[in-house]
């Protein structure tokens, strides 16, 4: 058994880096200066927009900054409400507070684990200005149904595709399904720049506004240092852009590996009752950023205990996201206690969910070892039919 000090852990997440990435970054270090300072940004942004089939892509230092600028460009501000799913990383909702608006926590769908049109609609008030559906763990919400509700009520849609580069919904790419889409290239993501993000949109005016807001209130190309307003400094470096371009040129391979890892889990877990893996609805392509298991209600072992026992075997896991309304960060939020009562699916799934190792360097035998360990723990707990 892979146990004890010095035994390498099976990692939860991590990238695939080849000589291509190293060459592109080295080239950026050597050449992307002076008049060529933006050459890798231009190539990365154009290639990313083309990959998604959208007009514009703007490289940024993080997805959090992309959400911040998207909200500002949508005109979200004090007095407005923005609906977010309960289950997501806090980066989806924190920027709503940055702009002085209020997040409203909606329940999730029990199969996709994403926002649904019904849970979204139930949270709409006259103050709702925007909604942020999240493509959770690489899966897709029912974006047509959500878009229909949003359109009928005049609500802007900001698609948080931080975890879902390359996922598709009815043949359309994740991030291209709202008014604005955002991505994360954090080191744990399928396509990484170490830290980084991208904002995409077909809306010329919105993107122009983002370009000004991300550069201290200067219009793109301004050499007069003539700031029109107080804004932000949200720029990606050329080394990151070079890394992102190299990764994007390998995107089909990266996604194929993620899907292969999921297929390994699926076959290893095929004989296990009482656990559920990520869903993939007809018409969608899940890119399985994080392979995730939900333990059945009837099991007496919690996901937290499962994670602890897997860690003893050198297997790294992460808890399913906690419902946002349950976090100390939202202790004083006016809707949090009501959300905690209403959002039953989020509160039921969260304590039973565990992200399993999903790193791009995993081998078949790593996944087999994780699944055998999982089964052993379930068997020892004496609570399954296996």
Ligand X SMILES: Cc1ncc(COP(=O)(O)O)c(C=O)c1O
- CB of residue 276 to ligand X, shortest distance in Å: 21
Q: Closest separation between CB of residue 153 and ligand X, Å?
A: 23
Judged by CB under 6 A, the number of residues near ligand X is: 14
Q: Closest distance between ligand X and the C-beta of residue 206, in Å?
A: 19
Is residue 197 close enough to count as binding ligand X by CB under 6 A?
Answer: yes
Which of 102, 139, 163, 238 is close enough to bind ligand X by CB under 6 A? 163
Backbone phi, psi, residue 295, to 5°? -80, 140
CB of 134 to ligand X, least distance (A): 5
Question: CB-wise, 60 or 293, nearer to ligand X?
Answer: 60
What's the min distance (Å) between Cβ of 19 and ligand X?
Answer: 26
Question: Does residue 162 belong to the site contacting ligand X (CB under 6 A)?
Answer: yes
> 40's torsion region: left (phi>0), alpha (psi -120 to 50) or beta?
alpha
By beta-carbon proximity to ligand X, the closer residue of 275 and 339 is 339
Residue partners of 6: CB distance under 8 A and separation at least 6: none
Residues 119-138 that bind ligand X (CB under 6 A): 134
When asked if residue 237 is in the footprint of ligand X (CB under 6 A), the reply is no
Secondary structure class of 134 (helix, strand, coil): strand
Angle between helix 19-31 and helix 238-248 axes, rounded to 10 deg: 150
Q: Are 163 and 188 in contact (CB under 8 A)?
A: no
Residue 232 three-state SS: coil
- How many residues does this entry show for the chain? 386
Q: Is 64 in the site for ligand X (CB under 6 A)?
A: yes
* Binding-site member from 56, 129, 186, 258 for ligand X (CB under 6 A): 186
Run of H or E residues at 81: strand 81-85
Question: Which stretch, 58-66, 145-153, 213-221, 262-270, contacts ligand X (CB under 6 A)?
Answer: 58-66
Rounded least distance, CB 191 to ligand X, Å: 12
Binding flag, residue 62, ligand X (CB under 6 A) = yes
Instruction: Return the number of the residue (64 or 309) whose C-beta is nearest ligand X.
Output: 64
User: In whole angstroms, how close is the CB of 6 to ligand X at the nearest point?
Assistant: 30
What's the rounded Cα separation, in Å, for the pair 231 and 309?
48
Q: Does 89 bind ligand X (CB under 6 A)?
A: yes
Could you give the 3-state DSSP secondary structure of residue 342?
helix
Instruction: Give every CB contact of residue 49 below 8 A, 6+ residues apart in sequence.
Output: 55, 56, 57, 200
- Given the complex with ligand X, which of 84 and 371 has the nearer CB atom? 84
Asked whether the CA dihedral 52, 186, 72, 346 is positive or negative, the reply is: positive
From its phi and psi, is residue 376 left (phi > 0), alpha (psi between -120 and 50) or beta?
Answer: alpha
* Residue 63 binding ligand X, by CB under 6 A: yes
Q: Among residues 186 and 313, whose Cβ is nearest to ligand X?
A: 186
Report, in Å, the least distance between residue 342 CB and ligand X: 22
Residue 91 touching ligand X (CB under 6 A):
yes
160 binds ligand X (CB under 6 A): yes
Q: How far is CA 320 from CA 72, 202, 303, 366, in A?
A: 30, 33, 9, 21
Q: How far is the CB of 94 from ligand X (least distance, A)?
A: 9
Cβ distance to ligand X smaller for residue 194 or 307: 194
Instruction: Report if residue 240 touches ligand X, rule: CB under 6 A.
Output: no
DSSP label of 114: S
Interface segment toward ligand X; rule CB under 6 A; list 51-59, 62-70, 78-86, 369-377: 62-70
* Cα atoms in the Cβ-side hemisphere of radius 13 Å centred on 263: 6
Q: How far is the CB of 136 from ligand X (least distance, A)?
A: 7
Q: What value does the CA radius of gyration of the chain take, rounded to a whole number of Å? A: 21
The residue with tokens 């000004």 is 212
Asked if 207 and 56 count as a contact pair (C-beta separation under 8 A), the reply is yes
3-state SS, residue 82: strand
C-beta closer to ligand X: residue 174 or 374: 174
92 forms part of the interface with ligand X (CB under 6 A): yes
Positions that interact with ligand X (CB under 6 A) = 62-64, 88-89, 91-92, 134, 160, 162-163, 184, 186, 197
């Amino acid at each position: 058994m892979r146990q004890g000090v010095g035994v390498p852990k099976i990692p939860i997440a991590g990238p695939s880096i080849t000589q291509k990435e190293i060459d592109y970054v080295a080239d950026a270090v050597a050449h992307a200066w002076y008049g060529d300072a933006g050459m890798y940004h231009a190539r990365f942004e154009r290639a990313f927009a083309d990959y998604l089939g959208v007009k514009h892509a703007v490289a940024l230092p993080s997805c959090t900054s992309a959400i911040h600028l998207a909200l500002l460009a949508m005109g979200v501000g004090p007095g407005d409400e923005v609906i977010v799913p309960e289950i997501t990383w806090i980066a989806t909702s924190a920027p709503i507070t940055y702009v002085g608006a209020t997040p409203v926590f909606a329940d999730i769908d029990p199969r996709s684990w994403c926002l649904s049109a019904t849970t979204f609609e139930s949270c709409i008030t006259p103050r709702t200005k925007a909604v942020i559906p999240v493509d959770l763990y690489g899966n897709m919400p029912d974006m047509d149904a959500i878009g229909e509700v949003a359109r009928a009520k005049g609500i802007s849609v900001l698609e948080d595709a931080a975890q879902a580069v390359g996922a598709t919904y009815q043949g359309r790419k994740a991030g291209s399904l709202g008014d604005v889409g955002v991505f994360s290239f954090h080191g744990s993501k399928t396509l990484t720049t170490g830290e980084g993000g991208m904002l995409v949109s077909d809306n010329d005016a919105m993107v122009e506004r983002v370009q000004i807001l991300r550069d201290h209130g200067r219009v793109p190309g301004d050499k007069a240092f003539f700031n029109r307003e107080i804004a932000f400094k949200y720029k990606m470096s050329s080394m990151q852009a070079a890394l992102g371009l190299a990764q994007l040129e390998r995107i089909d391979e990266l996604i194929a590996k993620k899907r292969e890892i999921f297929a390994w889990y699926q076959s290893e877990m095929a004989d296990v009752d009482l656990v559920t893996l990520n869903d993939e609805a007809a018409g969608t392509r899940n890119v399985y950023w994080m392979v995730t298991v939900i333990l059945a209600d009837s099991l007496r072992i919690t996901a937290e205990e499962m994670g602890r026992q897997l860690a003893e075997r050198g297997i790294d896991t992460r808890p399913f996201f906690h419902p946002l309304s349950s976090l100390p960060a939202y202790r004083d939020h006016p809707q949090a206690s009501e959300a905690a009562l209403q959002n039953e699916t989020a509160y039921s799934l969260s304590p039973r969910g565990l992200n399993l190792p999903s790193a791009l360097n995993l081998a078949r035998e790593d996944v087999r070892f994780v699944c055998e360990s999982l089964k052993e723990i379930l068997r020892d707990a004496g609570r399954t039919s296996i």
